[in-house]
Amino acid sequence: MKALKSPALQIGVAAIAGILFGLIVGEWAGNLKFVGDLFIRLIQMSIVVLVMASVIVATGSMTGSGMGKLAFRTFKWMIGFSVLAALVGWALSVIIQPGAGMVFSGELDPTLEETATATTGWQDTILAFVSTNIFAAMSTATMVPIIIFSLIFGVALHSFVAKTGNTLVLQFFDQLQQIVLTMIRMVMLIAPIGVFCLLAALAGDVGFAVVTTSLKYLGTTLLGVIIIFVAFVIVVTLRTRLSPWKLPEKLAEQTTIAITTTSSAVTFPTVLRNTVEKVGVSQRVANFTLSIGLTMGSYGAVLNYMIVVMFLAQSGAITLTPGQIVLGMLLAILLNMGTITVPGGFPVVAMFLATSLGLPFEAVGLLIAVDWFAGILRTFLNVNGDTFVAMLVANADNEIDRDVYNDHKKVVADEIDLDEYSAQLERADSDG
């Protein structure tokens, strides 16, 4: 009975039921579309406020800890592999075309179509990143200027708090963020109904392509995870000169927990312990890199977000300009880096990306329906990628105990206080 209370299971059952219903009744299922659209709009209405509050809180509460060579090396590898993940997601989407079978006959919202098809020079594109009226940008949900404003506001707020010690404004935005998150959790209670109606209408419109397209989407994500994981192994092997054949044994326990819980936060204590006791990374490096990795090391999320961007564009028969593709990659990486953390789960992330790039929303329901499977793939790469980065950082400072890695020596990791990592743990599972 407990399993029936699982939101992921409820959404999965609703998705299957919706697809079967749509395939059986055909075009009539389109009458249910307005219920699904209402669900999407309920999520949409929170995005602008949530993104503003999240960015302002993230930048306004930054601390000066973690500077120096250790931080530089950690960020270098994390950003480098995040860029690789975005590039792989784009390339695979171009080759496999996961969303191509979902082209809709209906017309796009004129404002979205105008946003998606507008082509300007690179100077105008950069100028458009800064709005002359932030309220106008908020009213049209033009996300990039909102993000830029929030970043600058957050930095200024951080400076104000540092000088005066007054955290009243920071607390206001933090509380605002929590309230909006509560709103989203309330909306997600009706997610099974929304997903049922969205997929029923979708299946009634495009037929069996709903099933084949979802498999193509998951297959594209799986292939990307394999490619990036292999790239990690190759780089780690070349840099550390350690045997890659020992890695399956070293990573087995944390991988099992990751794919069964789809939670980076739940897996974190195991990853920290194994990275020290099985891989041989020093406690100092493991503590720093893995805690940073909770919010910045979500390589599976970057890959998946980029595939989502391309999937939605292909589903609406939209050809993205090079500038829009680069912007999509940048947003995917920034979402991963924690600067633009959008807590609230995958539906909010998908709607954020669609809104930012002016993409159609019709296929979002399908992505939500299969997100449990995509979440397994994301978490697998996120968790193991963090261990690989810790190995690369530790190797540069000669802080890998090779005797431990080769099973010639045993060490015991320090007991960790999870309260110390509470903020990172809370934010980690927004990426899966």
Residues 400 and 279: beta-carbon distance below 8 Å: yes
What backbone torsions phi and psi does residue 400 show, to the nearest 5 degrees?
-110, 125
pLDDT tens digits along 243-266: 899 888 888 888 887 876 667 776
Average predicted confidence (pLDDT) for the chain: 79
pLDDT digits (tens, 9 = 90+) for 89-98: 999 999 998 8
State residue 415's pLDDT score: 56
Compute the average pLDDT of residues 10-27.
Answer: 83
Tens of pLDDT, residues 385-414: 999 999 999 988 888 888 888 887 777 766
Residue, of 51 and 165, whose pLDDT is higher: 165
**Is the pLDDT at 106 greater than 50, yes or no?**
no
Residue 237's pLDDT is what?
93
Question: Cβ distance 173 to 56 under 8 Å?
Answer: yes
Q: Which of 47-61, 105-119, 324-338 has the lowest mean pLDDT?
A: 105-119
Report CA dihedral (382, 396, 277, 286) to the nearest 10 degrees: -50
- The pLDDT assigned to 51 comes to 77
d(CA 345, CA 47): 12
Question: Which of 116-125, 148-157, 272-281 has the lowest average pLDDT?
Answer: 116-125
Under 8 Å between Cβ of 422 and 412: no
pLDDT at residue number 121: 47
Supply the pTM of this predicted model: 0.73
Amino acid residing at 129: F
pLDDT at 418: 53
Determine the residue type at 258. A
Higher pLDDT among residues 271 and 262, named by residue: 271
Q: What is the mean pLDDT of residues 188-204?
A: 82
66 vs 323: which has the higher pLDDT:
323
Domains of the chain, start order: 23-428 (1.10.3860)
